[in-house]
């Protein structure tokens, strides 16, 4: 083995993560199949299906080696809950990684946001295999991200972020996993909120982006840089004013409200995937290989400290 003492710690973490067994695409597919075949779509109108998805997530987190708990709350007389598990030390500042498990309307929600949840569950399995994680990592599956609750205090991520703030919990940062499985290598397959951005970021929907607002702090800058370095697929780092359409279209927006640095990791959602919030958002349209690469890079960043 050549001497590697001179390499930066983060580069060593990348080598270490890549030496591990990579994300298991068969497991990712199995998670997506379970989430997209509930008796009815997993939305607030079908609480039984939403709870079935939550129970599946809880069981998979336990199987991965976590000790999952629920964070219940009531909306319009109906009980909903986030599902949480943590890995690493009990104390100290923690990293929050989350994905919502509900869908919008009567559709399967394979990419939105089955892929985010599948990535979260596979990350849990990989984290459990690490003997000495450098800090605490909280994995959270949120409910009620989608309309009609989006941008309200009923979002599961708002409930969670508020609970951290109220308890004075120190937070290193937050990563929202939102749609990570759809890719299109054809020219013209990628859109943007502002037309000129295509000349900067390209017109092929073949990348993952780390999106954040201006003034997002050191965590956001470091995460974006390290994720791009670690990834085995193209990564675009995107920073914009908070008012730009799409920059806050996920659970990270609620952590911003409480002063936490938070980023969005995504395949850019409706700017690429035209099956967004449609019945055609199915497992058959997704790329398991590139979804796995997105998880591998996330693990490398987490292990880098």
The pLDDT tens digits of the residues spanning 46-94 come to 999 999 999 999 999 999 999 999 999 999 999 999 999 999 999 999 9
Please tell me the predicted confidence (pLDDT) of residue 14: 54
The DSSP 8-state label assigned to residue 97 in this structure reads E
Report the SS3 class of residue 290. helix
Domain ranges, ordered by start, for the chain: 9-177+251-262+277-303
Residue 118 backbone phi and psi in degrees, to 5? -60, -40
Dihedral sign, Cα of residue 200, residue 260, residue 245, residue 284:
positive
Rounded average pLDDT over 224-248:
95
What confidence tier does 131 reach under pLDDT thresholds 50, 70, 90?
confident
What is the secondary structure of 254-266 as a DSSP string? HHHHTT--EEEEE
Give the strands of the sheet with 136-142, arranged side by side: 69-75, 78-87, 136-142, 94-100, 171-178, 262-266, 208-213, 235-240
Is-contact 212 263, C-beta < 8 A? Answer: yes
Indicate if the pLDDT at residue 1 is higher than 50. Answer: no
* CA–CA gap between residue 10 and residue 16 (Å, rounded): 10
CATH of domain 9-177+251-262+277-303: 3.40.630.10
Stated pTM of the model: 0.93
* Chain segment 164-195, per-residue pLDDT in tens: 999 999 999 999 999 999 999 999 999 999 99
């Amino acid at each position: 083995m050549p001497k590697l003492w001179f390499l930066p710690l983060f580069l060593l973490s990348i080598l270490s993560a890549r030496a591990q067994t990579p994300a298991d695409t068969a497991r990712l597919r199995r998670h997506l199949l379970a989430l997209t075949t509930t008796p009815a779509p997993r939305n607030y109108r079908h609480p039984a299906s939403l709870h079935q998805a939550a129970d599946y997530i809880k069981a998979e987190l336990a199987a991965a080696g976590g000790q999952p708990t629920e964070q219940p709350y009531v909306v319009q007389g109906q009980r909903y809950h986030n599902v949480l598990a943590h890995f690493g030390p009990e104390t100290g500042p923690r990293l929050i990684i989350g994905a919502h498990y509900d869908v919008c309307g009567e559709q399967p929600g394979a990419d939105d946001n089955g892929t985010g949840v599948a990535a979260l569950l596979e990350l849990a399995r990989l984290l459990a295999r690490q003997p000495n994680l450098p800090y605490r990592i909280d994995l959270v599956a949120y409910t009620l991200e989608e309309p009609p609750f989006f941008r309200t205090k009923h979002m599961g991520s708002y409930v969670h972020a508020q609970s951290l703030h109220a308890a004075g919990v120190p937070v290193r940062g937050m990563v929202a996993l939102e749609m990570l499985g759809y890719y299109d290598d054809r020219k013209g397959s990628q859109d943007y909120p502002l037309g000129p951005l295509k000349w900067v970021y390209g017109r092929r929907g073949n990348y993952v982006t780390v999106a954040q607002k201006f003034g997002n702090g050191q965590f956001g800058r470091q995460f974006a840089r390290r994720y791009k370095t670690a990834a085995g697929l193209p990564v675009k780092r995107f920073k914009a004013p908070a008012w730009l359409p799409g920059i806050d279209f996920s659970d990270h927006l609620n952590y911003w409200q409480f002063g936490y640095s938070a980023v969005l990791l995504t395949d850019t959602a409706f700017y690429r995937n035209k099956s967004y919030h449609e019945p055609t958002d199915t497992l058959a349209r997704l790329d398991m290989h590139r979804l796995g690469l997105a998880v591998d890079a996330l693990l490398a960043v987490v292990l880098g400290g």
